[in-house]
A and B are shown apart, each in its own frame.
Chain A
């Protein structure tokens, strides 16, 4: 009877295990395996090169590290600017304000739009030559004509511009998760605090922040994963890597697979290396948050 129960349990989990293996474990092992070969992605012959691709990535490919740095910069802006904005808006919408449901819908529109569409639309808004040049017109109209700038074609401003558009696109996710988290905090706690004489700032600092730490960690990890892997928005905004200034890891991986002489094995090794970097960052974030709690 016990054996039958055990078998029955295995049968129940089998479909999930099979699906997980087919779509996650096997592709991962395959990609890792391909990273050990020199292969153009088409021919039947693959040349085993061991860890040579990894050695090249870590010690010789400066453009790879430049791309990690650029993605890190976008992520840093997203972690701070985007998440602070998302938290503040969620906090505002959690209170009894007029039209709060309307705001909730509006704030969630950017995340549901395609990254390429957002890229093209913002390109039209920002660009001087091709588009409406709205930002520069607004700056001029507000009395700051000296701030008018070629935001996308200046290497000094292009990455920050990309990061800000990325934040605009992504803050709705954070907003939604923060809002859900805020709604789980019992209102009695706030009422007790108010009875004890706590003002809004004290309630936020002593009640909301501590209770929201797990949610903030979740949003933080999702932001890191989403921002580090951004690329479609960049393609929509500037068409590619712009002399390395908007180069990000996914675009480097695509570059290795492009042209008539692609390096598929190298691209797989880049993918694995990038995955490991993301795992390490997420793990560190998680450990810090545990310490904080």
Chain B
């Protein structure tokens, strides 16, 4: 078997998922039954949405890239379930899970993948560019690490306006070597900004393992020390652990206006994107090991069955409903219209989309 993906995975990841050590943590123990079921449901919905996308992609209906979140659900689910009114999120292009977690609908998300005008970006963004500003979700970004300064700016704005809030900046293990990320780390720490950098370490930047891309021998989060920032590592297959440790970072953001780097160890079952044949950089045994023994959605189901919050029948209902919802969304996406040629030149400039007594500019702004 090839060397494991991530050399610095915590001990807890080396054994199969079992009862969570964090179930009794106040942030989890205080959840009502309904909240726990809702959290499980959201994780299951992400799983089923993503899996339904595969078939649509293989039918040639999704162009461009499709970066699936399957296997990483607990990261988005655990962190986003803690968000309050003034907590914002921004991520890279593996963004479907985050979108569904903040409450975007499967219909608009699926329709965006097939480029329809009923999509969440009216067919103008695609898979990598889901946005829901009314839900504090600022994208969906395609350039690795480019979202880090943006998210730092969102936190800056929250602080500027005197609000108690934060911005979660999600990125992959490959992003931590981008210059923009380092600049963002420095600014967040220097200016005491309430940023929570979440490194979703799934072991591989596309096909390049952490060992082959990062000089620092320790975990990725430890480099936060170079920027005088707090950091922590989290087993991302345990949604309770994600919640418990993230809650501490959130408290630091809200009460001290200081940033944190959280490295959440997770795994993706599918390739980097659907275009990745996934043949050269990891063993099938490794994927099977995670699927069978460390699946975050299954782990939480087991946890809730143990807690007697879920029953087998309820779990089945939840999963079947999620599958049905995804199927309906696929039909919606298929039957929706495309944007028009006239739509191509809309939504470029706010001033053009909102021409009125207050807009003052003139002249030609769209050229032929």
Whether chain B is bound by chain A comes out as no
B residues near A (Cβ < 8 Å) are none
A residues near B (Cβ < 8 Å) are none
